[in-house]
Structure 1
Amino acid sequence: MKFPDNPLLGPLSRADFITANLSLVETVVNRHFRSQCAATRTPLTDANSEGAIGLINAYDRYNDAAVPFGAFAFPHIYGEIANAISRRPTTGIKIPEWIYPLIKRINSAGLSGEQPEVVAKELGITAAKARQALRCIRIKSTDALPEKDTRGHSDDYTYLDADTFLARLKPQPKKIIHMLMADYSQSEVGRALGMSRQSVRATVLRVRENYERYEKISA
């Protein structure tokens, strides 16, 4: 299956554009994830591979030429890497996605110290699945594990629901928020957009107020 090129991203083909921008992934990994990779024994090449998925998703979803591609791509890249690393215990063993709900069920039922056969009977699952889930529980405490994988959704790694709230913003505030989400400072955003730092801050405060109102309406 051939995926279409994005006309907003210049003359390069989809494959060539993604290859040419893999440095964005490397920058995110080196700037934000080196210590986490070391702690979870995740090879940097694995983190780069996960980030490349985010880069591809960003290319396919990019639809606003007023927003710099790097700023748009950042949350997609960051989210893919963060999600992948969150599923690795400190031993570096990756827990399969399907096991997470089962681990939650076992912990909720207070069965984490039981034998696989007991867990299987109580939960109506196979002994093999119970054994694998118990092994993962013993590798690492999983009390704080997410219920499900929400990879690719912007609310994994921002404080705003970008797909709904940000879409309502006018082009200038939207561009500012996207750049701040991409880890630019307010001063850097101001220089890039020809604004003072105070103007950027005032815009952010207005957006925050609007978001708080939006959140109350949506609740």
Structure 2
Amino acid sequence: MSLTARFALPSAPAQSSAPPTPPSPSTTPPPADTDAAPATTATTATTATATTAEDAPHPPAASGGSAPPRTTPFPPRASDSPADSARRSRAADARALTQVLFEELSGLEPGTPEHARVRAALIEINLPLVRYAAARFRSRNEPMEDVVQVGTIGLINAIDRFDPQRGVQFPTFAMPTVVGEIKRYFRDNVRTVHVPRRLHELWVQVSGAIEDLTVLHGRSPTTGEIAERLKLTEEEVLACLEAGRAYHATSLEAAQEGDGAPGLLDRLGYEDPELAGVEHRELVRHLLVQLPERERRILLLRYFGNLTQSQISAELGVSQMHVSRLLSRSFARLRSANQIEA
């Protein structure tokens, strides 16, 4: 049985389709009081003006005088398609039925089976409101079923807190609660890397500023332009941009878009085997400048030019023994100047 059938809307009392019985010719109406005639005429005119097309009696149906169909509060527009008219009619019926159910719910004791039944009916009839709110987050690459489920939690919270006596329509009251619950879900559960809430809120402002400045200048704005518009520092803008890219982490072995494009793992740098000798080379360079010119040249020829002592002696015009003594003296001087313990 549908919700509309289970919770029927209250309808106005049926009006009689029979034409009014004219007064008998033999009955003479009493003479009208001349003083009361203007008041009677004004009352009749006011009553006739207040009568609308919906309150006017409908002509009897051709098949036995059945009651006319109930009119919706929002008549179809001339430009509406049949689907739009049907959608507007369903929305009007849902709002009217929601109001009736809330009136019934306010008179029930929480925890009773009847209260649970009416509450469940309110949830079911307002699920299209949740789907409408969830459709705003289709670009987040999350399963729509999960988003609708989270939005339904917000709908339940809105139903439990709604007070019909305040004169506010339930969709107006429930929409911020549903959207807020969905945003909280994306903030706390979807991000692979959790960022501070302040950065997340600033990212919303930065994203809006980027769109406005792009339209204004016809190009992507710089970090300085964004910071100037939002009265932030460039470091805060850069942190917000990094936070905006922290929704999902990509696997290093995931395939990249494009034919033959290398994966992230293939594009990672490797550890340079000479990296451990950087400090040693810097230390040697610092010590070499403290040696005399000839001794420094002998060391460079021996250990960087890979020449033997005989080749060095021939190039410098000294004996090999003298080259050996100079090397020994240079090593002793370098060891004494090196304050770093091995």
Same fold, judged at TM 0.5 (above): no
Bigger Rg, which one: 2
Structure with greater contact order relative to length (CA < 8 Å, sep ≥ 6): 1
- TM-score (normalizing by structure 1): 0.33
Q: TM-score of the superposition, structure 2-length normalised?
A: 0.24
